[in-house]
Amino acid sequence: MQIKLAEALVECLEKEKVEVVFGYPGGAILPVYDALYDSRKIKHILVRHEQGAAHAADGYARVTGKTGVCMATSGPGATNLVTGIANAYMDSIPMVIFTGQVPTIQIGTDAFQEVDITGITMPITKHNYLVKDPRKLPEIVHNAFHIASTGRPGPVLIDLPRDIVSQTIEYSESGPVPLRGYRPTYRGHSFKIQEVAKMIKGSKRPVIYAGGGVLSSGAQDELLELAELISAPVTNTFMGLSGFPGEHPLFLGMLGLHGTRYANLAVTECDLLIALGARFDDRVTMKVGDFAPKASVVHIDIDPAEIGKLVATRVPLVGDVKTVLKALLPLLEKEDRTPWLSRIKEIKEKHPLTYRRDGTLKPQFVIEQICRLTGGEATLVTDVGQHQMWVAQFYKFHRPGMLVSSGGLGCMGFGLPAAVGAKTGRPERPTILVTGDGSFQMTMQELGTMMEQGLDIKIVILNNQALGMVRQLQQFYCEGRYMATSFQFHPDFCGLAKAYGIPGYSWTREEDVLQALPQVLATPGPAIMNCIIPVEENVTPMVMSGKGIHEAIEC
């Protein structure tokens, strides 16, 4: 049938079962928005800033397992998406991004609102397209969704010149299209799997190091079975949190820079480190030469580029974590490692995760109360900073996919728009945003989106009147010379809440939290809770630069 290309694009999105698009319109993308007007299957959510569209699509993808979709116009609309695209790329989140572009005849002429968005995003997308032939659009859209969601997931961008999307084409549905050179490996090599089984059987002190790849592949059940079968403690990367039950006796918590002391010491003492869908990033390994010095390393990952990139690997195994574990588990037997587990228990008792109580409202206490009241069953969304690490340390996640946060990029301002996306994707789940006063002010305009969509999101601001994590770094590395980290002016967050029609609360004592938090969380509708915490409170444990993870500073 003869239809406009913009209408064909909407048909393609519907065929890919897209239910929600987060976006912000403009001149170059106008034909697409005009076509969306007639769609009865796709809901468009108007954000207040294009960055919010990318983060919302990201949050939606993390909680649903589907590919998030966002769009914006050309020029500043497209460049405002860049931070969110980079964030999704670093954290391996499946997204397809549509940007408007000036007409093809104007490309390269510095036309109004023209930028080379495919060039700009080349290093931060899994793949991108500039559509030049309108007949190829259905194939491009199909391939984009396939690339974004398979192998190691990631964002794919499609740039749409206005004259191209305004053309009329003979539309026919596009089926599977072979992609030369794109062949993700899912099944691990059988010989390597047998070798891993032998190493596990010969190990006395194994540790499982589980990353975000466990969640991406849906391998949480296999991970639990493996840990219990071989009696191996499990430590998570930040991105891997919620992939293993937080209350399980084999759980060590997060490792690395702000990881638990017992996770870091267990990795330092282990003789076998089984890495599952993790990339050995610098915040985990710290001083690479001192990382797991006694261990043989097994690295299972779907991305061959990550294996051996930073840490020497004894057995490299390329494949999907879930698929590989399903092949590995039948080769293993129940192992009794009582001496090793006794040592783990000893380390836990000697170095508990704790904080000092001094009568002020401590952020760790607030997180503990949220965890107690939700039973670890809420979707916890965070921004980036100290509050993010306190959530990682003190919230015990019971189910996979319950943490939505910016990992690799460490993007302040991620939290509120990501919470909008997460609540949109899983409206039945309680959704709580834990943010800092600095992060919240970066994208707080998305309160408008939240209220327009009627989303029940509880917002907890851990307010220390400062850029807390940077201030902490200045304390340790700059001899307490605090520069540009203290806010001399703050908005009245409760007044801001009122302006948006949201109930607002301000708490300064533990008693305030104990008395009010249960009712606020139980009351339907959004709320903003401004928790005044001490500016001097630091995130500990903390590994100093140049030190090994076994040398962390404790509380």
What pLDDT score does 180 carry?
Answer: 82
What pLDDT score does 178 carry?
Answer: 76
Domains of the chain: 2-170 (3.40.50.970), 190-350 (3.40.50.1220), 363-532 (3.40.50.970)
Cβ count near 44 (within 10 Å): 15
Tokens of 211: 């990353």
What pLDDT score does 171 carry?
Answer: 86
Query: For 115-151, what is each residue's pLDDT tens digit?
Result: 999 999 999 999 999 999 999 999 999 999 999 999 9
Residue 220 is which amino acid? Answer: Q
Q: Strands 296-301 and 315-318: what pairing?
A: parallel
Residue 172 pLDDT > 90, yes or no? no
What pLDDT score does 1 carry?
Answer: 78
What CA–CA distance (Å, rounded) separates 415 from 240? 18
Residue 113 pLDDT > 90, yes or no? yes
To the nearest 10 degrees (0 to 180), the angle between helices 321-328 and 220-230 is 40
Residue 189 is which amino acid? Answer: H
Query: For 89-110, what is each residue's pLDDT tens digit?
Result: 999 999 999 999 999 999 999 9
Report the run of H or E that residue 234 belongs to, with start and end.
strand 234-236
What pLDDT score does 173 carry?
Answer: 74
What CA–CA distance (Å, rounded) separates 257 from 237? 11
Q: Are the CB atoms for 377 and 369 separated by under 8 Å?
A: no
CA dihedral 153, 58, 216, 19 (to 10 degrees): -90
What CA–CA distance (Å, rounded) separates 210 from 244? 9
Q: Which of 113, 179, 192 is nearest to 144 (CA)?
A: 179
CA distances to 193, 295, 298, 331 from 197, rounded to whole Å, are 6, 16, 10, 6
Residue 176 pLDDT > 70, yes or no? no
What CA–CA distance (Å, rounded) separates 475 from 338? 42
Report the run of H or E that residue 206 belongs to, with start and end.
strand 206-210
Per-residue confidence band for 555, with pLDDT thresholds at 50, 70 and 90: confident
Query: For 189-233, what is each residue's pLDDT tens digit?
Result: 999 999 999 999 999 999 999 999 999 999 999 999 999 999 999
If you average pLDDT over residues 298-307, what whole number do you get?
96
Question: In angstroms, what is the C-alpha Rg of the chain?
Answer: 24
Cβ count near 301 (within 10 Å): 26
What pLDDT score does 179 carry?
Answer: 86
Based on the number of CB atoms within 10 Å of its own CB, is 27 exposed (0-12), middle (13-18) or buried (19 or more)? middle
CA atoms within 13 A on the CB side of 85: 30
Q: Would the pTM count as exceeding 0.95?
A: yes
What pLDDT score does 175 carry?
Answer: 66
- For the chain, what's the residue count? 555
Cβ count near 554 (within 10 Å): 11
Look over the chain and give the mean of its residue pLDDT values, rounded to a whole number.
97
Cβ count near 17 (within 10 Å): 11
Per-residue confidence band for 181, with pLDDT thresholds at 50, 70 and 90: confident
**Which one-letter DSSP state was computed for residue 8?**
H
Q: Which of 401, 390, 416, 404 is nearest to 533 (CA)?
A: 390
Q: What is the DSSP annotation of 244-307?
A: S-TT-TTEEEE-STT--HHHHHHHHH-SEEEEES----HHHHSSGGGSSTT-EEEEEES-GGGT
Query: For 264-287, what is each residue's pLDDT tens digit?
Result: 999 999 999 999 999 999 999 999
If you average pLDDT over residues 46-52, what whole number do you get?
98
What pLDDT score does 174 carry?
Answer: 67
Strands (E), 40-199: 43-46, 68-72, 95-101, 127-130, 155-161, 168-170
Query: For 508-537, what is each residue's pLDDT tens digit?
Result: 999 999 999 999 999 999 999 999 999 999
What CA–CA distance (Å, rounded) separates 484 from 467? 8
% of the chain exceeding 90 in pLDDT: 97
Cβ count near 338 (within 10 Å): 8
